[in-house]
């Protein structure tokens, strides 16, 4: 226990990981200590895994105060969209979606719109896409991610984006939010989450309390590799939903493969 506390403390002393939810750091640290009991090695391995799961997607340390000020200064819906697009450039996952953003949600959600409630799992900067979604007036949006400062930002930003709701810092590999919603979003998150908890993709799909679940996968790695990724991820997804009797709609975009699961 002393070594585990020491690893958690050392990792959270880093500016890059100080705002990661403690329970998530603890889970990863415990696993790394079980494989390499030397403190220095366990600290390094824990930081490496946190980088792979989340840290690699941020191009620079977020200046959330400045981001909030930019959203507050937007005078109308068009200006908010411009600001949101600019901010989404800061995260690799959301940046990849920008060329298809105008089409992505409209194509996928057209048959179930208007959406009154959303749960966004491992959200990253995805809530900034709210102005591009087909949400009902007065919709509720619940966002969750492992970063406490990101949750703080979205708790202030969600009203500016025209929705009610809240943001939570939570490790979904241990705690799956149980709010009943029209739509759950698991956007390009399952491959990362599976690095922390094998089988979490299946567990999320079964346990999330949503009428519809939008699951997507990247068509290329952060390093630009594309070979075989679509086929691999489609096969993985088909394993997750096998035997469930759910209705599945498939959507193919230039940078992303998406599935809308309807829990009949």
Rounded-to-integer distance, Cα 47 and Cα 36, Å: 14
Across residues 77-96, what is the average pLDDT? 91
The pLDDT tens digits of the residues spanning 139-172 come to: 999 999 999 999 999 999 999 999 999 999 999 9
Confidence class of residue 183 from pLDDT cuts 50, 70 and 90? Answer: very high
- What token pair was written down for 157? 């930003």
Question: Do you know the residue count of the chain?
Answer: 264
Q: According to the model, what pLDDT value does residue 197 have?
A: 86
Q: Residue 233 pLDDT > 70, yes or no?
A: yes
Q: Which residue would you say has higher pLDDT here, 71 or 176?
A: 71
The pLDDT tens digits of the residues spanning 196-229 come to: 888 999 999 999 999 999 999 998 655 556 567 8
Q: According to the model, what pLDDT value does residue 72 have?
A: 96
* Count of CB atoms situated within 10 Å of the CB of 106: 13
DSSP label at residue 114: S
Question: Which is it for the CA torsion 146, 175, 108, 105, positive or negative?
Answer: negative
Rounded-to-integer distance, Cα 101 and Cα 132, Å: 7
The pLDDT tens digits of the residues spanning 21-76 come to: 888 888 888 888 888 777 888 888 888 888 777 655 566 788 999 999 999 999 99
The pLDDT tens digits of the residues spanning 110-143 come to: 999 999 999 999 999 999 999 999 899 999 999 9
């Amino acid at each position: 226990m002393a070594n585990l506390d020491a690893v958690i403390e050392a990792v959270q002393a880093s500016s890059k990981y100080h705002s990661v939810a403690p329970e998530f750091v603890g889970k990863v640290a415990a696993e790394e200590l079980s494989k390499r009991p030397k403190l220095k090695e366990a600290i390094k391995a824990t930081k490496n895994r946190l980088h792979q799961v989340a840290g690699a997607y941020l191009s620079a340390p977020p200046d959330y105060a400045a981001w909030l000020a930019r959203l507050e200064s937007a005078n109308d819906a068009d200006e908010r969209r411009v600001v949101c697009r600019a901010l989404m450039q800061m995260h690799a996952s959301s940046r990849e979606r920008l060329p298809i953003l105008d089409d992505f949600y409209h194509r996928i959600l057209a048959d179930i719109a208007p959406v009154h409630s959303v749960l966004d799992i491992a959200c990253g900067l995805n809530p900034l896409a709210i102005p591009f979604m087909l949400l009902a007036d007065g919709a509720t949006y619940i966002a969750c991610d492992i970063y406490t400062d990101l949750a703080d930002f979205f708790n202030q930003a969600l009203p500016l984006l025209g929705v009610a709701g809240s943001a939570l810092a939570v490790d979904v590999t241990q705690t799956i939010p149980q709010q009943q919603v029209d739509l759950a979003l698991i956007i390009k998150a399952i491959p990362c989450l599976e690095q922390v908890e094998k089988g979490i993709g299946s567990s999320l799909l079964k346990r999330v309390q949503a009428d519809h679940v939008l699951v997507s996968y990247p068509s290329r790695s952060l390093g630009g590799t594309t070979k075989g990724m679509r086929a691999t991820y489609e096969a993985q997804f088909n394993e997750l939903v096998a035997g469930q009797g759910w209705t599945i709609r498939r959507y193919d975009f230039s940078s992303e493969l998406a599935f809308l699961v309807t829990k009949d």
